[in-house]
Amino acid sequence: MSSFSRSLQRLFKMCGIPKTYGVLAAFILAAAFSFLVGCFSRNSDDVRVVRVVDGDTVDVDSGVTVRYIGIDTPETRRQTSAGWIATGDEDGEEAKKANEALVMGKKVRLEYDVQKKDKYSRTLAYVFVQEDKKETMVQTELLRRGLAFLYTLPPNVRYVDVFLAAQKEARKNKAGMWAHEFHVPSAQACNFLDQRKFVSGKVSGARRTDKMVSLEMDGLHVIVFTKDLGFFEKEGINPAQDYTGKRISVFGLIKSYRGSPEIIVSHPWQIEILDRP
């Protein structure tokens, strides 16, 4: 019997709880305590990176593929009907090279959040590496260099404020991809499918359902899913009301949905009102 179990039994005896019940309760509580300790101790793992897939994905020596939580980097390849092909995106290649320089062949610490796997069975983690005798989070470093975007996906949002600050620093310094000009009017969004752009235009209307808020612009739908509305509410923003009738700039990946261009927005930083008084 463990010392923890013996201590519990002594406590039960002092409280007048019968020995039979006390023994059983002690074992149950001890098992629960051990389980919780085990869960917390497994909140991080030390592994070695054996392959860098792209700017935000690596393979490690434990046999799993790790997708970095909280960021997204430009793609180096995309899937087509003919198979995977290179995108030719220079920013994507730069992000991959930076990721390789940071972690390839090195021991890293994986820290987990609420959700540990994504729909592709990749392990979701914050990745830390020893650099200049200090531990550096890889996500923050890629954001600071302007080689990644903040990408929030609840419930894994532990470091969202840290990531947002790093991205603001990169934008202010015009680091990496933020040095480029990629602003287009919403009416021309259809010409930039599968590309990330700042798209500007007037919000002519908004529609809210149980699943989302949809903002209508000339040539573009802007979608905010219900799971992400908490970020807007935290800043006192009601997307269905506060953007309607305003000229905005929205940043994101332009995709085609049912034949129409759309951008999915997961955080308020992606939308800026242009015609403020």
**What does the alpha-carbon distance between residue 165 and residue 45 come to, in Å, rounded to a whole number?**
26
Give 73-90 pLDDT, tens digit per residue: 988 766 656 665 665 677
pLDDT exceeds 50 at position 35: no
Stretch among 26-40, 49-63, 74-88 having the lowest mean pLDDT: 26-40
Task: Tell me which residue range forms the domain holding 7.
Answer: 3-39
Q: What is the pLDDT of residue 226?
A: 96
67 catalytic? Reply is: yes
- More confident: 68 or 23: 68
Give 112-136 pLDDT, tens digit per residue: 999 999 999 999 999 999 977 899 9
Catalytic residue among 94, 122, 144, 196: 122
Cα distances from 57 to residues 10, 107, 207, in angstroms, run 52, 15, 35
Catalytic residue among 6, 42, 48, 75: 75
One domain for residues 248 and 229: yes
pLDDT exceeds 60 at position 40: no
Domain boundary among 126, 154, 178: 178
Q: What is the pTM of this model?
A: 0.78
Give 161-209 pLDDT, tens digit per residue: 999 999 999 999 999 999 986 899 999 999 999 888 999 999 999 999 9
One domain for residues 151 and 242: no
Q: What is the CATH number of the domain that holds 256?
A: 2.40.50.140
